[in-house]
Amino acid sequence: MSGRLPLADGELARTAGVRTLVRGGVDEETGEVLSPAVLAQRIGWCADLVAGMVGALIGEHWNTADVQVLASGQDAGGRKLPSHAWMALRRLGWTVTPAEGVRVNDRVVRMAQEQAGRALRSVWWRAALTAGVLATWPADPRKRTPAEWEQVRASIPGGEHLPSGVIKGRTRQAVTFLNANGRLPVDVFELEGVPRVPRMLLLAACDRQQATLERCETDPGRVLLRLQLPLRPDPRAYRDWTWVACPIILPPTVPVGAVLHLPTLRVLGGRVRADVAFTHVVAKARRAGHTVGLGVDWGVNTLLSAGAVRLHTDGRITALGAGGQFRAAGVLAKQHRLRRHSERLHAKVDHYQRLIGVNERHQLVGKHAVLRDEIRHVSERRQNLNNAVAWAAARWAVDQAIAARASVIYLEDLRSLEARGMGATLNTRLSQQVRGKIVDRMRHLAAETGIAVVTVPARNTSKHCPQCLTVLQHRKAPDKPTVAGWKWAICPNQSCRWQGDRDHGAWRRIAARGLTHQAKTVIDKTSGQMVIRAVVDKLEATAVITKVSRVDRSKTGPTWHRATRPAPRRRRAPSPTRPHSRAGKRPEGHAPTGQRLPRAAHRHQGVNTISTPTTGHRPRGAALGAGFHLHAHASPPRWETIPETQSDSGSLG
């Protein structure tokens, strides 16, 4: 299914994707209904054929010369290479054939060339990065001097704005190769080796002779995928291929008027997953011209702190409300527990491997395999928790921007932040943060409503006062004197005297800095993301929050009469005697509901739910049976707060 969407002024065509399950199909030639297991088997046969050709292509052209030719964008005659990878490979004459005796059509070869071409194109940036690191190898790889940092950044294309963590990671990879082989690698192709080929079908490289996708006219949420699949793992002729019709149910997040594209099929865990891409019309995000912006600050105990500010026509900046917080201390405590469990499993596996050696009949081989499976299971649990936290935090931040009618979200640029030099506990907690995933999902959700997401420099956002830029004094919060940390900030300037949570001061500084520097917003050429790269001192001097004077509450008339005994929320007069039968008047007081929340819901979860790792440590913020949503808390709206009631469940907004 293809087509172009009509666009108006201020609109943009955006391509996104959703993942859904293919639960079965029908063989159109025989009319046989294929179960999910049989369908997964037949798609797996086709994916194996494609993966074999992809591995042959990548292995043949996994070298600097061929990848450089593909990355140059021109063929031998100087003509521009097509954007589609399979067409570019055919222009260069890089062909591939299936195994001897196996018959596939040309569209299956296209899928193999498309997958191999994407892999070869993506390695060129890593090749340039590795070449720059190796060409300017430092005297001490563990710590570069300022001059060595300038040299390595100058030798890498676009290295001026590259995060230092990327360069350090590539340096550590080269050091590992040096320790194992006694020399530095020649290039990235020797450093990484031929990559592993995933089993998948890129149907986007095919036409109607291999696959079609049609939307149901009566039910837009249903589509029909038709594709040719083999009847055996090694098809010998074209008669071993038949058309299979697979109905797919789309998630409700796909708009009705969206243009659907052929999906990518993968077989995971015995089930077929389809990644369906679609194009729909969204409002175009602006780089500048914003008057209301949302500032988002990262934290360790409080994952996100956010609030909106307004830029007035006279240049004043005022805060819109007190802001909110998104806390996920309980989920991070569970992540901490799983991380420690994974470390113990890895230690056992390494010990067993040393004992086994090369003896394949050792008595510990079975236990070694069981521990390997457990490590994969724990890794999947950690990944699922990270994805859940990322989506929940991103959705909360975008909802805050929508509620405040903000047209831009300003984030701290913490790509170069490393978890080192801050103690074992804090380093561990920083390494578990999922900032990158949250930012990616925040950009994805914000693009649906035309909200721009811009990263700003993180220099001194928590250090200076948001109202006068004076250096703040940090101390314990006055309402939590026993809680560890210095969460409270006080401005020593006598004419200002602002005080509050340091995270709330930080989001004010971030939002004000973004609005004053919005003319300096640029779009990164490699990623296409909006970013403010540097802070201008002249603009920074105006990035202050104007203190709004409170409304005069002086008495202007007689005081309203208030009853000395207001109506109580609960009945104080005794109810009539309860009848013997079930029917009758309700009993006195509140009737019990008979439902009881998990234990973690009745306890306030403090911010320090992850302490120093000790033997037998059990974080208090992650009780068994509490579930995910009882561990991720957001500040409730003010109109939902009932001050008359007292609850021991903490903030479960």
CATH of the domain at 485: 3.30.420.140
617, part of any domain: no
| Cβ proximity of 513 and 529 under 8 Å | no
What is the four-CA torsion angle of 547, 550, 551, 555, rounded to 10 degrees?
Answer: -150
The CA distance from 515 to 293, in Å, is: 7
Compare 178 and 478 and report the one with higher pLDDT. Answer: 178
Residue 265 backbone dihedrals phi, psi, to 5 degrees: -105, 135
601, part of any domain: no
165, part of any domain: yes
The CA distance from 653 to 632, in Å, is: 9
The helix (H) or strand (E) run that includes residue 581 is none
Summarize pLDDT for 378-417 with one digit per residue, the tens.
999 999 988 998 999 999 999 999 999 999 999 988 765 5
Q: How deeply is 194 buried, as exposed, middle or buried, from its count of CB atoms within 10 A (0-12, 13-18, 19+)?
A: exposed
Task: Answer yes or no: is pLDDT of 569 > 60.
Answer: no
Question: Domain check: are 275 and 160 in the same one?
Answer: no
C-alpha distance from residue 544 to each of 243, 464, 521, 537 (Å): 65, 10, 19, 13
Confidence of residue 243 (pLDDT cuts 50, 70, 90): very high
Compare 487 and 13 and report the one with higher pLDDT. Answer: 13
Report the residue count for the chain. Answer: 653
Give percent of the chain above pLDDT 70: 82
C-alpha distance from residue 236 to each of 34, 199, 209 (Å): 22, 21, 19
Summarize pLDDT for 629-641 with one digit per residue, the tens.
555 666 655 444 4
The CA distance from 271 to 38, in Å, is: 10
What is the four-CA torsion angle of 493, 496, 497, 499, rounded to 10 degrees?
Answer: -120
365, part of any domain: no
Range of weakest confidence among 445-454, 521-530, 599-608: 599-608
Mean pLDDT on 354-373 = 90
| Cβ proximity of 42 and 242 under 8 Å | no
153, part of any domain: yes
Summarize pLDDT for 196-225 with one digit per residue, the tens.
899 999 999 999 999 999 998 888 889 999
Closest of 290, 295, 246 to residue 511, by C-alpha: 295
Last residue of a domain, one of 254, 283, 312: 283
Question: Domain check: are 394 and 457 in the same one?
Answer: yes
429, part of any domain: yes
3-state secondary structure of 74: strand
Question: Domain check: are 234 and 308 in the same one?
Answer: no
Compare 421 and 384 and report the one with higher pLDDT. Answer: 384
Mean pLDDT on 498-517 = 91
Average pLDDT of the chain?
Answer: 83
Buried b / exposed e over 403-427, threshold 16 CB at 10 Å, is ebebbbbbbbbbbebeeeeeeeeee
Residue matched to tokens 């003319």: 519
Range of weakest confidence among 400-409, 534-543, 606-615: 606-615
Closest of 599, 455, 582, 463 to residue 517, by C-alpha: 455
Question: Domain check: are 459 and 512 in the same one?
Answer: yes
103, part of any domain: yes
Compare 422 and 554 and report the one with higher pLDDT. Answer: 554
Compare 274 and 644 and report the one with higher pLDDT. Answer: 274
Confidence of residue 583 (pLDDT cuts 50, 70, 90): low
Chain-centroid distance, C-alpha 165: 18
The CA distance from 301 to 326, in Å, is: 10
295: β partners:
307, 410
Predicted pLDDT at 222: 93
Chain-centroid distance, C-alpha 370: 31
| Cβ proximity of 272 and 407 under 8 Å | no
Predicted pLDDT at 639: 44
Chain-centroid distance, C-alpha 93: 38
Last residue of a domain, one of 283, 316, 343: 283
Structural domain of residue 279, as residue ranges? 11-42+205-283
Task: Answer yes or no: is pLDDT of 567 > 70.
Answer: no
Question: Domain check: are 30 and 125 in the same one?
Answer: no
Predicted pLDDT at 303: 86
Summarize pLDDT for 141-188 with one digit per residue, the tens.
888 998 999 999 999 988 887 888 889 889 999 999 999 999 999 999
- Number of domains, the chain: 3
Question: Domain check: are 439 and 461 in the same one?
Answer: yes
Last residue of a domain, one of 540, 570, 587: 540
Question: Domain check: are 229 and 272 in the same one?
Answer: yes
Question: Domain check: are 134 and 55 in the same one?
Answer: yes
C-alpha distance from residue 187 to each of 14, 73, 154, 374 (Å): 37, 21, 18, 35
Question: Domain check: are 176 and 212 in the same one?
Answer: no
Question: Domain check: are 216 and 186 in the same one?
Answer: no
Task: Answer yes or no: is pLDDT of 360 > 80.
Answer: yes
Residue 9 backbone dihedrals phi, psi, to 5 degrees: -65, 135
Question: Domain check: are 129 and 20 in the same one?
Answer: no
**Secondary structure letter of residue 80 according to DSSP:** B
The helix (H) or strand (E) run that includes residue 140 is none
318, part of any domain: yes
Chain-centroid distance, C-alpha 203: 26
Question: Domain check: are 139 and 241 in the same one?
Answer: no
Mean pLDDT on 487-513 = 90
Neighbours of 565 (CB within 10 A): 6
